[in-house]
């Protein structure tokens, strides 16, 4: 096709683009995916019956602080990688802060417990399923983010995929907290992080083929 014709055709379809459309699309993609993940939490594993009691306690909020702060950081990274000219965000190391804080809390908890309880703190009752459920719940959110990216231009699809995967994993873990009865920080640090890491790795692998444009 002649380039001039192409331009005329493209210019016949010009819709206004709102200023903060990247943020809006990411928010919409995550929220729609999270709605499905929430249904899955309710349908597959069930919301813990003592949620109102648990929400008054420290461990619940430690878990949420951990997953929400990682979720916010991952979403900001994803938004930055949605633009073609973006380099790696300079504040990326901040994602390590929640991990370090949780490690500190975990060490403090273990110091207070006797060594024969350490294994129980670490493995809890659900270490076998926890990472896999987080990975499963992250899938709908990741699909929502794939939809968001249809109008974006990630110059590094693999990195963008990893960031989107981490965002999906962190928000899926946030929803999984509504079910998860575990209370120890070292449990969350290991098995929640593993679930989110699996989601990020899956995103990195899928980013190359799915986020190309």
Partner 1 sequence: MRNGEEQLRAMMIAGLGGDPQAHESLLTALVPLLRSFFRRRIRDAEDDAEDLVQETLIAVHNRRASYDRNRAFTAWLYAIARYKLVDHFRRRRRLCPIEELGDILVTEGFEDAIAAVLDLQRLLEGLPAKQARLIRDTKLDGLSVTEAAESARVGRSDVKVSVHRGLKALAARIRGGA
In the complex, the residues that contact partner 1 under the rule CB under 8 A are: 1, 3-4, 6-8, 10-12, 14-17, 19, 21-22, 25, 82-85, 151-153, 155, 212-213
Distance of CA 207 to the CA centre of its chain: 15
Nearer Cβ to partner 1, position 149 or 191? 149
Nearer Cβ to partner 1, position 83 or 128? 83
Rounded Cα distance, 213 and 197, in Å: 25
**To the nearest whole angstrom, how small is the minimum distance from the Cβ of residue 143 to partner 1?**
19
Nearer Cβ to partner 1, position 6 or 97? 6
Distance of CA 72 to the CA centre of its chain: 8
Question: Which residues, at least 6 apart from 60, have a Cβ–Cβ distance to it below 8 Å?
Answer: 54, 177
**To the nearest whole angstrom, how small is the minimum distance from the Cβ of residue 102 to partner 1?**
33
**To the nearest whole angstrom, how small is the minimum distance from the Cβ of residue 22 to partner 1?**
7
Nearer Cβ to partner 1, position 46 or 151? 151
**To the nearest whole angstrom, how small is the minimum distance from the Cβ of residue 210 to partner 1?**
15
Rounded Cα distance, 159 and 165, in Å: 10
- Cβ count within 10 A of residue 77: 24
Rounded Cα distance, 109 and 21, in Å: 43
């Amino acid at each position: 096709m002649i380039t001039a014709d192409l331009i005329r055709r493209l210019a016949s379809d010009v819709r206004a683009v709102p200023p903060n459309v990247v943020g809006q699309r990411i928010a919409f993609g995550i929220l729609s995916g999270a709605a499905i993940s929430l249904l899955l939490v309710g349908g597959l594993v069930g919301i813990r019956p003592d949620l109102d009691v648990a929400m008054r306690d420290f461990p619940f909020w430690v878990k949420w602080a951990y997953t929400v702060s990682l979720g916010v950081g991952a979403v900001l990274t994803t938004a930055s990688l949605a633009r073609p000219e973006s380099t790696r965000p300079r504040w990326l190391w901040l994602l390590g802060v929640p991990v370090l804080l949780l490690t500190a809390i975990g060490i403090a908890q273990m110091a207070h417990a006797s060594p024969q309880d350490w294994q129980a703190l670490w493995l809890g009752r659900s270490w076998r399923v926890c990472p896999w459920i987080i990975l499963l719940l992250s899938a709908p959110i990741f699909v929502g983010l794939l939809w968001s990216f249809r109008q974006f231009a990630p110059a590094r699809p693999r990195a963008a995929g990893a960031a989107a995967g981490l965002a999906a994993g962190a928000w899926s873990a946030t929803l999984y907290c509504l079910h998860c009865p575990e209370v120890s920080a070292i449990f969350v640090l290991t098995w929640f992080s593993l679930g989110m890491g699996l989601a990020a790795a899956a995103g990195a692998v899928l980013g190359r083929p799915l986020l190309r444009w």
